[in-house]
Amino acid sequence: SDTKMVSLDAMDEQLIQKAKQEGVETMWDRKVTMKAPCGFGEKGVCCRICAMGPCRVSPVEGKGAQRGICGATADTIVARNFARMIAAGTAAHSDHAREIAHVMHLASKDGNYTIKDEKKLLRLAEEWEVKTEGKDIYDIAHEVAEIALNEFGKPFGTLRFLERAPEPRKKIWEKLKIKPRAIDREIATIMHSTHMGCTSDAESLIHMGMRTALADGWGGSMIGTEFSDILFGTPVPRETEANLGVLEEKQINILLHGHEPSLSEMIVMASQDPELVKLAHEVGAEGINLAGMCCTGNEVTMRHGVKIAGNFYQQELAVLTGVVEAVIVDVQCIFPSLTPITDCYHTKFITTSPKAKITGATHIEFNEEKALESAKGIVREAIENFKNRKQDKIFIPKTKAQATVGYSVEAVIKQLDRVVNSQIDPLGTVKPLADVIKAGVLRGAAGIVGCNNPKTQHDYGHIEVMKKLIANDVIVVTTGCAAQAAAKAGLTSKDAAKLAGKGLQAVCELVDIPPVLHMGSCVDISRIITLVSETAKFMGVDNCDLPVVGVAPEWMSEKAVAIGNYVMASGIDVFLGVLPPVTGSPEVVDLLTNRVEEMTGAKFFMDEDSLKLADMMLVRIEEKRKNLEK
């Protein structure tokens, strides 16, 4: 079979063998059946936007159909498809944020959802000019939540969080007219403008895409992160473990998969309920073991140290162990194949969101108004399923790694405070970080994020790029499935400092951090954007002046496309290890990898060879340093 498909983890390989023996189909089988992808789709030149089509135009000039029936060129078709990917990604992140804002709106002192970080709420209230004096904290929360909910559809003005950006960045956005107005509005504008017979100009579509993407980064995603911290606590460093070896043979294993912490937080609470723990013992288990997967896994590991079962690529493999009583999901990145695969074992596949019903799954709708009760019902299902395990189908790989997680911006700054002489400098700033970057002790920083994709070897891109960068004194911050790859490879443990260059090693020791910092889920890329912007502001420069890069070695989702575009529009270069479906348009490729730089100070770099990509990052970082050192 394709050597690229061979996993980095030897134990993943063992599970794939187990699947073969048991006649269970996995994504690896389907990848083979799928053969080579459609060349037109891969290049982005297939248009299905109206019923005169589908039209597929030739990606080669002068050969084959040059225009769709309406006359749309390859440039138009590619740019329209790309813009729609941004809109879909923005919709997903932002709808997640909307749910969290609604949860904050129903938070109450005696309810299931309370306010965990009052200080953060008060800071936000002040930022948004909500009066706080003499007011009940829950009244403040509700008012702030309502303002956030209005960010989705307000008729006038631009998004509030944009004000957090460095001054020169805001000027660029103003000049380009890409300050998003309201989150839903930007998504709707893309859907309208890409409707048959609207925008055909590729540059205009890329431009619109940036504005919509910014509504994700500085809107939906930032609301998602801020509100989750206020409701569930701002993460602090904590220890955990990662990889399928965290599953326990003698315990009830519940796999938490999906995205919104409003569900997973309640499952964490329910799993500690004395009655349910008692029930678990009654059915013969030693306890209840939660294991996280994908971004929900990141949310609960950041705030509770819940162990990480694995990333995107491993969702089927986790079921193959035969010890998972229930896979509980809400939205996003869930394989529909979890239905047939859980059917081969005793595992219950439980969907909870009306936004993501999956054929064949058990749907237990999660009711936020009775959140804990709903969560308890779901956990009970898992416990009662323990007796149905098939003993001859059990195989848990032993592999797992120690990981330190929980690096919110606040937590990073707190670590930095360790080296501040408080008689000279104030505590609570990014000054130590700015100092070591300016001095060149750290050459720069990289945000390595995103998914797994069977177009690449599992985790290989993440791990190799991370190793190369830290060895070259580039500190790495990470989220999403990339963060889980890092955790499994031991790179988020403080021990990993030994793999770092001398400068980074010294920094890790002084401030007591690992060289790769787990900053959370994909919406938490807003934490990275915040950290970069705070550093730029502190140094009196713009984001694009800093030796900072964004990297998605194995991305696959539309959310990732939205992220890539807001990171670029925020002034940070973006390196992609998987080519987006734009190569059928030289115009769009030129825009993204070249001309956007004149507009935003950053651009895309694309290469399927992740080590080559890493070399390009280092070159780019040194280029930026030259200007910084001037």
- CB nearer ligand SF4, residue 199 or residue 253: 199
Q: Output the smallest distance, CB 583 to ligand SF4, in A.
A: 18
Distance, CA of 215 to CA of 222 (rounded, Å)? 9
Instruction: Pick the closest to residue 307 from 329, 282, 290 (CA basis).
Output: 290
- CB nearer ligand SF4, residue 69 or residue 439: 69
In three-state form (DSSP H/G/I as H, E/B as E, the rest C), the secondary structure along 611-629 is HHHHHHHHHHHHHHHHHHH
- CB nearer ligand BF8, residue 82 or residue 313: 313
Pick from ligand BF8, ligand SF4, none: which does 207 bind, CB < 5 to 8 A by kind? Answer: none
Phi, psi dihedrals of residue 235, rounded to the nearest 5°: -60, 145
Side-chain half-sphere CA neighbours of 480 within 13 A: 31
- CB nearer ligand SF4, residue 197 or residue 540: 197
CB 91 within 8 A of CB 189: no
Pick from ligand SF4, ligand BF8, none: which does 481 bind, CB < 5 to 8 A by kind? Answer: ligand BF8
Distance, CA of 244 to CA of 255 (rounded, Å)? 11
Q: Which H helix or E strand runs over 410?
A: helix 409-416
Pick from ligand SF4, ligand BF8, none: which does 557 bind, CB < 5 to 8 A by kind? Answer: ligand BF8
Burial class (CB in 10 A: 0-12, 13-18, 19+), 614: buried
- CB nearer ligand SF4, residue 57 or residue 291: 57
Pick from ligand BF8, ligand SF4, none: which does 295 bind, CB < 5 to 8 A by kind? Answer: ligand BF8
Q: Output the smallest distance, CB 56 to ligand SF4, in A.
A: 9
Q: Output the smallest distance, CB 468 to ligand SF4, in A.
A: 42
Q: Give how far Cα 261 sits from Cα of 112, 115, 243, 265, 374, Å.
A: 13, 14, 21, 5, 14
Q: Output the smallest distance, CB 200 to ligand SF4, in A.
A: 9
Written as one letter, the residue type at 425 is D
Pick from ligand BF8, ligand SF4, none: which does 52 bind, CB < 5 to 8 A by kind? Answer: ligand SF4
Pick from ligand SF4, ligand BF8, none: which does 70 bind, CB < 5 to 8 A by kind? Answer: ligand SF4
Q: Output the smallest distance, CB 620 to ligand SF4, in A.
A: 36
Q: Output the smallest distance, CB 529 to ligand BF8, in A.
A: 15
Pick from ligand SF4, ligand BF8, none: which does 55 bind, CB < 5 to 8 A by kind? Answer: ligand SF4
Residues of this chain that bind ligand BF8 (CB under 6 A): 259, 294-295, 312, 333, 450-451, 480-481, 521-522, 557, 559-560
- CB nearer ligand SF4, residue 67 or residue 625: 67
| Contacts of 348 by beta carbon, 8 Å cutoff, 6+ apart | 325, 326, 327, 342, 362, 381, 382, 385
CB 323 within 8 A of CB 257: no
Residues of this chain that bind ligand SF4 (CB under 6 A): 47, 49-50, 52-55, 68-70, 72, 77, 196
Q: Output the smallest distance, CB 604 to ligand SF4, in A.
A: 25
CB 479 within 8 A of CB 312: no
Pick from ligand SF4, ligand BF8, none: which does 196 bind, CB < 5 to 8 A by kind? Answer: ligand SF4
- CB nearer ligand SF4, residue 73 or residue 565: 73
- CB nearer ligand BF8, residue 490 or residue 520: 520
CB 342 within 8 A of CB 327: yes
- b or e along 229-264 (b: 16 or more beta carbons within 10 Å of the residue's beta carbon)? bbbbbbbebeebbbbbbbbbeebbbbbbbbbbbbbb
Q: Output the smallest distance, CB 564 to ligand SF4, in A.
A: 24
Cis peptide before 54 (omega within 30 of 0): yes
Task: Write out the DSSP string of 547-564.
Answer: SEEEEETT--SHHHHHHH
Q: Output the smallest distance, CB 606 to ligand SF4, in A.
A: 25
Pick from ligand BF8, ligand SF4, none: which does 496 bind, CB < 5 to 8 A by kind? Answer: none
Phi, psi dihedrals of residue 27, rounded to the nearest 5°: -60, -25
List for the chain the helix, strand, coil content (%; round to 5).
Answer: 55, 10, 35
Residue holding tokens 């839903």? 184
CB 237 within 8 A of CB 411: yes
- CB nearer ligand SF4, residue 77 or residue 222: 77
Pick from ligand BF8, ligand SF4, none: which does 592 bind, CB < 5 to 8 A by kind? Answer: none
- CB nearer ligand BF8, residue 31 or residue 154: 31
Q: Output the smallest distance, CB 365 to ligand BF8, in A.
A: 22
